Structure 1
């Protein structure tokens, strides 16, 4: 895969998406970004494409010409099947159609573990994330250079620049700021050591910029 320069962001008006778009819009950014928004009122500080219920072909047309897709879309529990599951899968398909391999998606902590999320109040949310991730891994692993980020409970606090990788359901889950999740996305876009991997992340004491963090998984 060649070096990523142009990134298209789905979910750019969500809280993580907004944080990531700010990083792309910063004058020091090494990337150029396109934000996909639901309506013109959500237009951002970077180039925007207005989208509502797009087909796979229409999504592919939007993706074409970019080097990477970042999918931070979430329905906040309102349209789980349409948004957290089907929109994600349509975007996988569209990325393949557009011949864009790099794909980063935001999931949820331990979404691969039914025993973990079956005990939570957000069970339906987790089910949607579980199957989106599973389809990505099982059906697109040879077509997309994906990374799945699975943050723990999210906060709107200021970025710390520090994380830890949660490797077991026995570990304390803690929290992570949305700003730090955005920073992780920014740091791993061009990191080939993160391809085909999933990371359960929380705030910790490791520098987000330290590439050794991502090799250890």
Structure 2
């Protein structure tokens, strides 16, 4: 199975690529700065240029025809409209145009619950980001026919993976490697299709948590 990772140079993107390779997938590592992509396994990782400022037609050419897409791209607040919002939508459209069905999107906790944003300090401080994620998730749910899974973690932390999680509607910290595992392993569970999963650190093994999503 070939999986395209959009946002291959970011913290989550790097972790996702490593997880995919470890799980035996072939990976298209897509990024605007190809020379910044860490090729962990040249036999199973192909680097591909992908710029969300490009036209939709060009993005269609850039992504090709993978079996699945994992969107983890982000501008860290510097290019929210072009990358986090419109770039995400362009990639959805390109995936559909190229016959891709499976699509996993990294979002943010409570992105679809605007009333929560003012209540949680970490969200209240990034309202523009929240808005971009809200409309990106809304588009994926209501304006595509993709077999999507949306992962909405709380704060992303550079700390050791636990292999465990909690899928409950609460805020909280997440190991980046645990988030990467949820993103990748959701591909194995068809019950996660058309689901929005809020996650944070917990005590349930990730595979068990994914198997119980409904």
Q: TM-score, length-normalised on structure 1?
A: 0.89
Secondary structure of the corresponding residue to residue 188 of structure 1: helix
Name the Cα RMSD after superposition: 1.4
Q: Deviations over 1:175-200 (max 9, x none)?
A: 00111010111211131100001000
- The number of residues matched between the two structures is 204
- Residue 21 of structure 1 and its aligned partner are, at CA, apart by 1.0
Unaligned 5+ segments in structure 1 are: none
Distance in 2 separating the partners of 1:174 and 1:13: 25
Q: 1:7 aligned to 2:18?
A: no
Q: Deviations over 1:138-160 (max 9, x none)?
A: 111xx200000000011000111
Deviations 1:92-139 (A, max 9, x none): 100110010100000000111111113411111000000110111111
Unaligned 5+ residue runs, structure 2? 40-44
Give the aligned partner of residue 49 of structure 1. Answer: 48
- Alpha-carbon distance in 1 for matches of 2:186, 2:29: 19
SS, match of residue 57 in structure 1: helix
Q: Which residue of 1 aligns with 2:165?
A: 163
Number of the residue aligned with 1:133: 137
1:44-71 superposed Cα distances (whole Å, 9 cap, x missing partner): 3121012333222222223333100000
Contact conserved, 1:109 with 1:201, CA < 8 A, in 2?
A: yes
Contact 1:147 1:198 in 2 (8 A): yes
SS of the residue aligned with 1:176? strand
The answer to whether structure 1 residue 35 and structure 2 residue 29 are counterparts is yes
* 1:79-158 alignment runs, 5 A limit: 79-119=79-119, 120-140=124-144, 143-158=145-160
Query: How far apart, CA to CA, are the structure 2 residues paired with 1:189 and 1:62?
Result: 22
